[in-house]
Structure 1
Amino acid sequence: MNAPATLRPPGRLASIHDAITRFGFYCSGACLAAIVLSYCYEVVSRYFFAAPTTWASSLVSYLLCYTVFLAMPELTRDRIHIFISIVLDQMPVRAATLLQHGAYVIAALACLAAAWFCSEATWTQYVRGISTVNEWPAPKWLLSIAIPYGFLSTAIYFGRLAFDGQPYQSPEGI
């Protein structure tokens, strides 16, 4: 099977966006590694030394947010986001292309709306000084900031996909 087709950047701004996205994806991987290491440490600490940590559970939940929302734009850029193609695969290429690009526009608008809503919530958390309520409190905005970034960056990629001029190609053929 061929590697998935990646979105071709139309210019310098898109190249910068792609570089930021790739960096975020690597950070997402680092967060995932930290989650695995902290859980392993917690298991060893708890069951072999009878000394459970007070921070591992909080760290995992904090990093999980970053893991998801830093990876999301890269998955969209590489067109490996979740995509159910059964209807498009049965259509002529021109009609499938129009429908797919229309779906990308709708996805971009939905992600923009989510980014707007989440950025307002994050700003409110910052202004009000809201912290998490667990054994390892942290300012909520520091955790939430990844959410509007992920949605905004993903919205930009869906917009780029919608107007890239590429004809529909089934994910099986990519």
Structure 2
Amino acid sequence: MRILKTLYDSLIYGMAILAGAGLVWLMVSTITSVVMRNFGVQPFAWLFTSAEYSILYLTMLGAPWLVREKGHVHIELVTAALPPATRAVVSRTVAAACVLVCAMLAWKGAELAMTNLERGDFDVRAYFFPRWILTISFPLAFGCMAIEFGRFVFGRDLLHSGEAGIHE
């Protein structure tokens, strides 16, 4: 069981690192495109397309880590006003709803990726890119987010701290 947990944790942190690398690539590709345009050179078509792909990947791959770190945006105005026992019930209920939504999106994402793979779909812009390589990020990310939200349903830690305002 410990090996499985270590592998899963490595997956979450590896995805977060890839998301960070995608953010760096987005910055580099944008700056390169702007500099090329300023020098009167047409930027490479693949530069813009790779930036678009990077936006998708950094969003999807970074999301499970954000759930783990409670980094997603949420407002604790209501939960801060609740007594601790009620706050725990509300927080676990919200986390359970998030598990259900993420599980459904992971399922539909898996169906989409399988359809793309079976059909041999390609994203055709700057170059032919197998579409399943893009859509495989949906079941992976939403599946991991379902697990992470599940930790707030069944674990000791709550999704909501009960502290309204900014605490960094």
- Same fold, judged at TM 0.5 (above): yes
Q: Distance in 1 between matches of 2:18 and 2:108?
A: 24
Q: Given the alignment, which residue of 145, 163, 166 partners 1:154?
A: 145
Counterpart AA for 1:17: Y
Return the offset for 1:57: 1.2
Q: Does the 8 A contact of 1:45 with 1:53 survive in 2?
A: no
Match for 2:46 among 49, 55, 62? 55
2:2 and 2:80 map into 1 onto residues whose CA distance is 31
Asked if the contact 2:80/2:163 (under 8 Å) is kept, the reply is no
1:7 equivalent in structure 2: none
Where does residue 74 of structure 2 map in the other structure?
Answer: 83
Matches of 2:68 and 2:157 in 1, distance apart?
14
Amino acid at match of 1:106: A
Question: What is the number of equivalent residue pairs in this alignment?
Answer: 165
Unaligned runs of 5+ in 1: 1-9
Tell me the SS of whatever aligns to 1:138: strand
Amino acid at match of 1:55: W
Identity of paired residues, percent? 26
Whether contact under 8 Å (1:131, 1:137) holds in the other structure is yes
Does 2:157 match 1:169?
no
**Does the C-alpha gap of structure 1 residues 20 and 171 become closer, same or farther in structure 2, counting only changes over 3 Å?**
farther
Once the two structures are superposed, what CA deviation does each residue of 1:82-120 show, in whole Å capped at 9, x if it has no partner?
222111111100000011011111101110000000110
Does 1:121 find its partner at 2:112? Answer: yes
Give the secondary-structure state (helix, strand or coil) at the position aligned to 1:35: helix
- Please, which moves more after superposition, 81-90 or 113-122? 81-90
CA drift at 1:50: 2.3
Shift of 1:137: 2.5
1:21 aligned residue: 12
8 A contact 1:65–1:147 mirrored in 2: no
Secondary structure (helix, strand or coil) at the match of 2:18 reads: helix
2:102 is matched with which residue? 111
- Could you list the per-position Cα deviations for residues 17-44 of structure 1 after superposition, in whole angstroms to 9, with x for gaps in the alignment? 1221011101111111111111111111
Instruction: Give me the TM-score of the superposition, normalised by structure 1.
Output: 0.87
Unaligned runs of 5+ in 2: none
1:136 alignment partner in structure 2: 127
Whole-angstrom CA distance in 1 between matches of 2:36 and 2:102 = 41
Indicate whether 1:101 and 2:83 are aligned: no
Which moved further from structure 2: 25-34 or 47-56? 47-56
